[in-house]
Amino acid sequence: AFSRSTCKPTTANQPVNRQYQFKGITTLTDGLKGNRNYKTGRWIAFYRNDMDVTIDLKEPTEISSLAFTTNVEKGDWTFDVRGVTVEVSDDGKNFTKVFEESYPAMKETDRNGLYDHKITLKPVTTRYVHVVGLSERSIPEWHGGKGNAGFLFVDEITIE
pLDDT at residue 1, as a whole number = 60
| Sequence letter at residue 119 | I
What pLDDT is attached to residue 2?
86
pLDDT at 95: 98
The one-letter amino acid at 116: D
pLDDT at 124: 97
What does the DSSP assignment read for 27-94? Answer: GGGSS----S-TTSSS-EEEESS-EEEEEEEEEEEEEEEEEEEEEEBGGGTB---SEEEEEEESSSSS
Q: For the chain, list residues with pLDDT below 70.
A: 1
pTM of the shown model: 0.97
Sign (positive or negative) of CA dihedral 69, 103, 24, 68: positive
